[in-house]
């Protein structure tokens, strides 16, 4: 296998999605300096995206803008409506008479008929049954193509990856950001280093995308209800001369990635002024072949790394675990931590399964000597973060928690002193029942679940501060 990578990097993850777009009608392109031949393709892509936006009604444009600016609505439905959709989904699958699906059904009928598995595609296509079934069938065909027909009736595992695939894990091409955007959506990245690999290695690139995203992004509840954010960016290395992906290989990446049940509710393509010609050519390929829903929510940012990061921050993208520093240099420590965390989560998942359901990540038994546990995904905007500093106090989850606590101040103050600990413990349990987590930095400076005593002390401290 031959591809370019930073030799110091030993871990990363990211995403094969890049397309341009910006301002007002969700699109404008900013750049200092005169036009160059490099920009001709971008202007054509810009015109195409603008035409797609202008096809939208006013209501649809506003919805697209809300998604780009992190204020979009979540998918809402009822159990009764979902049941009707699943019934229609089943009927549509039968009408398709798809041979790949029939093979998957013979291998493991419970897997492909699993409600959670099918809901992923329904949510990805916003409850459009025909589109959801089409995507599921495409997903199964892609899965058979890159992992073999025997993988149709089960999840994709680390053991499905070969040596070349694992080498790509160290290439800094793929990255799943530890933080979420201000709307709580997962953020996935792909470095333009992907365009420097040879055509013969594109299958490894696709297998890595399937493994990382299907196991570590698709299962998130936020992915189903809110969608995800995609970011493509250029590095210094992506401007080098070397092996180049052909048009055919680029299209293979597009087809495989959009078969995954992930809805891109916002997409940012980041380019350097006078950067790689091939990177701009890749923009045209992605723009012309991505779903219209995605194109209408895409932005292009052109500028220095610092300028681009400021622009992304204005769209709710946090920078603490962003893969590049202000000078556009890959943050090796961030990649390594991310990869260690992802592999730890996967090892935990594979150490024992109750059944082959894609949503079941419970361990039946941890093998002796294997000290792994699921990593903490987040922090999310809804989480309560424990620790010192004004930054933590301004975290959305902390602000919401303080507001919620005010309603119980009288109950706490009226309790006898020795009973207040019980009140605090009860409030903790009630708030956690809302799906909120209490997190605190551990000795390795990573977010981890806070213990009960720590949370209870935090609650008591909040009530004391309300007396001032």
Quote the Cα angle for 218-221-224, to 5°.
65
Whether this prediction's pTM lies above 0.85 is answered by no
In this prediction, residue 105 carries a pLDDT of 93
In this prediction, residue 228 carries a pLDDT of 93
List, in order, residues 6 or more apart from 17 with CB less than 8 Å away. Answer: 188, 190, 230, 232, 257, 264, 267, 286, 290, 294
Phi and psi of 143, rounded to 5°? -65, -45
Quote the Cα angle for 143-144-147, to 5°.
70
Q: Which domains are assigned to the chain? A: 1-378 (3.40.525.10), 384-465 (no CATH)
In this prediction, residue 381 carries a pLDDT of 65
82 burial (CB, 10 Å; 0-12 / 13-18 / 19+) is middle
pLDDT tens, per residue, the chain with 468 residues: 333 333 333 333 333 333 333 332 223 333 333 344 345 556 776 677 777 777 888 888 888 888 888 887 787 778 788 889 999 999 999 999 999 999 999 999 999 998 889 989 999 999 999 999 999 999 999 999 999 999 999 988 888 888 777 777 777 788 888 889 988 899 998 886 665 566 677 888 899 889 889 988 888 878 888 999 999 887 655 454 555 667 788 888 888 889 999 999 999 988 877 666 666 777 677 777 788 888 888 888 888 888 999 999 989 999 888 988 887 777 877 877 777 776 664 433 433 333 333 323 222 222 333 233 344 555 666 778 888 776 677 777 787 788 888 888 888 888 888 788 888 888 888 887 776 788 888 877 777 888 888 888 888 888 888 876
In this prediction, residue 378 carries a pLDDT of 55
What are the C-alpha distances in Å from 33 to residues 30, 36, 42, 274?
10, 9, 15, 9
In this prediction, residue 5 carries a pLDDT of 34
């Amino acid at each position: 296998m031959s591809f370019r990578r930073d030799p110091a990097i030993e871990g990363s993850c990211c995403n094969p999605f890049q397309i341009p777009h910006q301002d007002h009608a969700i699109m404008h392109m900013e750049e200092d300096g005169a036009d160059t031949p490099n920009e001709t393709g971008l202007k054509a892509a810009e015109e195409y995206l603008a035409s797609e936006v202008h096809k939208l009604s006013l209501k649809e444009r506003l919805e697209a803008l809300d998604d780009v600016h992190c204020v979009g609505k979540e998918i809402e439905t009822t159990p009764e409506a979902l049941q009707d959709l699943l019934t229609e989904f089943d009927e549509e699958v039968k009408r398709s008479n798809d041979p790949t699906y029939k093979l998957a059904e013979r291998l493991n009928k419970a897997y492909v008929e699993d409600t959670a598995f099918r809901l992923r595609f329904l949510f990805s296509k916003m409850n459009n049954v025909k589109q959801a079934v089409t995507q599921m069938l495409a997903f199964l065909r892609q899965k058979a193509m890159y992992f073999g027909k025997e993988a149709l009736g089960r999840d994709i595992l680390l053991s499905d990856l070969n040596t070349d695939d694992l080498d790509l894990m160290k290439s800094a091409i793929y990255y799943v950001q530890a933080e979420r955007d201000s709307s709580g959506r997962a953020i996935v990245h792909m470095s333009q280093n992907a365009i420097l690999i040879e055509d013969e290695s594109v299958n490894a690139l696709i297998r890595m995308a399937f493994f990382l995203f299907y196991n570590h992004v698709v299962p998130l509840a936020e992915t189903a209800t809110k969608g995800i954010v995609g970011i493509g960016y250029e590095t210094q290395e992506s401007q080098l001369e070397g092996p180049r992906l052909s048009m055919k290989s680029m299209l293979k990446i597009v087809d495989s990635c959009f078969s995954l049940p992930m809805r891109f509710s916002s997409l940012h393509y980041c380019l350097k002024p006078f950067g790689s010609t091939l990177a701009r050519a890749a923009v045209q390929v992605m723009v012309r072949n991505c779903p219209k829903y995605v194109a209408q929510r895409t932005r292009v940012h052109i500028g220095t790394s610092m300028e681009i990061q400021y622009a992304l921050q204005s769209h709710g993208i946090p920078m603490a675990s962003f893969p590049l520093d202000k000078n556009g240099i890959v943050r090796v420590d961030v990649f390594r931590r991310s990869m260690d965390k992802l592999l730890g989560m996967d090892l935990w998942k594979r150490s024992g399964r109750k059944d082959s359901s894609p949503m079941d990540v419970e361990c039946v038994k941890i093998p002796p000597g294997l000290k792994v546990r699921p990593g903490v995904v987040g922090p999310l905007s809804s989480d309560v973060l424990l620790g010192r500093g004004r930054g933590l106090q301004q975290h959305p989850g902390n602000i919401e928690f303080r507001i919620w606590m005010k309603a119980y101040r009288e109950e706490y103050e009226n309790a006898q002193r020795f009973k207040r600990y019980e009140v605090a413990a009860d409030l903790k349990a009630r708030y956690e029942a809302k799906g909120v987590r209490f997190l605190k930095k551990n000795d390795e400076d990573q977010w981890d679940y806070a213990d009960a005593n720590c949370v209870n002390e935090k609650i008591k401290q909040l009530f004391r501060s309300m007396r001032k």
